[in-house]
Amino acid sequence: MRAIFDELSDKSRIWIFQSSQPLVGKAEQITQEADAFLQQWAAHGSQLKASCHVAYNHFLIIAIDEDFNMASGCSIDSMTRFVQELAKKHDVELFDRTKLAFNKEGEIVLVEMNKMKTLVAEGFFTSETLFFNNNIQTKAQLNSEWLVKPEESWLNRYFAVAKSV
């Protein structure tokens, strides 16, 4: 069952799929295809109340209100297969967890995780650079913990090292 994203509970579970490239020109089509999938998405025959949207032209966000019905392992697997097919169809990578996304001066910049130490040492980050923490799990976190200063996330270990040097 398709729902309106903003009307889903803050407790709704979310998945964030980060694109390797901007989804400009593809976002509307991706959203339409995801909406069609969500309309028929079910867990053990029970409809799921879900929604999606593309944020910052780089992130496909899928949310499910588990107060309505819980997602099952099989339903999550079907969503994952759908997103894999969607990525292939639109020639984008949505499962590369080695790249981290930052909002640097209004531009989405993807950085290889293994370059973090060097980038911190070189001063790539300023007090205005924000990190997309795709490890969040709820809609409430999406609103408050998704876009944060890197040192206020799990990346803080890189900043602690830089300060001690």
What span, in angstroms and rounded, lies between the C-alpha atoms of 141 and 14? 9
C-beta atoms surrounding 41 within 10 Å:
21
Question: Residues 22-74: pLDDT tens digits?
Answer: 999 999 999 999 999 988 887 777 787 899 999 999 999 999 988 676 677 88
* Ranges of each domain in the chain: 5-90, 99-164
Residue 161 in this model has a pLDDT that exceeds 70: no
The reported pLDDT for the residue numbered 162 is 53
**For the residues of 98-110, what is the DSSP string, one character each?**
TEEEEEETTEEEE
The reported pLDDT for the residue numbered 157 is 85
| Tokens found for residue 5 | 């994203």
